[in-house]
Amino acid sequence: MKHFLTIAVLFISLSMFGQKKIVWFDIGLKAQYGAAGLYNAAIADNDSKYDYKIGSGFSYGGKLGINFGYNGLSIDVMKSKASQSFDLTPVTIDWESLDIYALFRHAKNLGYFEIGPKMSMINKVSNTRGNEKIEFAESLYNKQVFSGVVGFGANIMGNDGRFSGILGLRFEYALTDLDSEDGKKLVLQS
């Protein structure tokens, strides 16, 4: 009886660690399209000069993931382009970036939830007023922007593990500004 507890603990330990966990890798191509834009409280509160339009953006790239059962880590690399314009002032801001996502992903029952950080390396920013391009020094914009990301979605085609089509929503919020300290001092006059 005295060894019963020892034997029970041994068998429980063996059964816990003896279970095989499914480890699998996934690689794929990705494309994203949706609403995108910049928000600045100082501009939004200045009703007389600016009124935001909903901007759009698109990106394409690839992903590599390693999964342990239902949970996994995914690295996405995306080339992005987005735009922001205003109703009352004919100013448009366009930017291009290389985005790197590092996401924790939980996938179960053909659906998924993901959360993690994103680093955007800004390649190009251009501003136009009407048809006139406004030239700015590159020092007016940060070269890197960090964001938080939350997404969810579902598998819409393919369930054999070799090929699948996934449709989802991804929400991102920038934690750092696109404008550098010099750029924050710039005032666009209408």
Q: In this structure, what are the phi and psi dihedrals at residue 182, rounded to the nearest 5 degrees?
A: -65, -35
DSSP annotation of 37 reads -
Q: Which residues pair with 64 in a beta bridge?
A: 27, 75
Q: Is residue 110's pLDDT more than 70?
A: yes
pLDDT tens for each residue of 145-190: 999 999 999 988 876 667 788 899 999 999 988 877 777 776 554 4
Alpha helices of the chain — where are they, by DSSP H? 4-18, 41-44, 181-184
| pLDDT score of 64 | 96
Average pLDDT over residues 105-130: 90
The answer to whether 53 and 77 are in contact (CB under 8 A) is no
* Structural domain spans, the chain: 22-184
CA 143 to chain centroid, in Å, comes to: 17
Beta strand 165-174 with 144-157 is antiparallel
- Of the candidates 66, 84, 75, the one whose C-alpha atom is nearest the C-alpha of residue 21 is 66
| pLDDT score of 74 | 95
CA 77 to chain centroid, in Å, comes to: 10
pLDDT tens for each residue of 16-72: 555 567 888 889 999 999 988 877 766 666 666 667 788 899 999 999 999 988 899
AA identity, residue 51: D
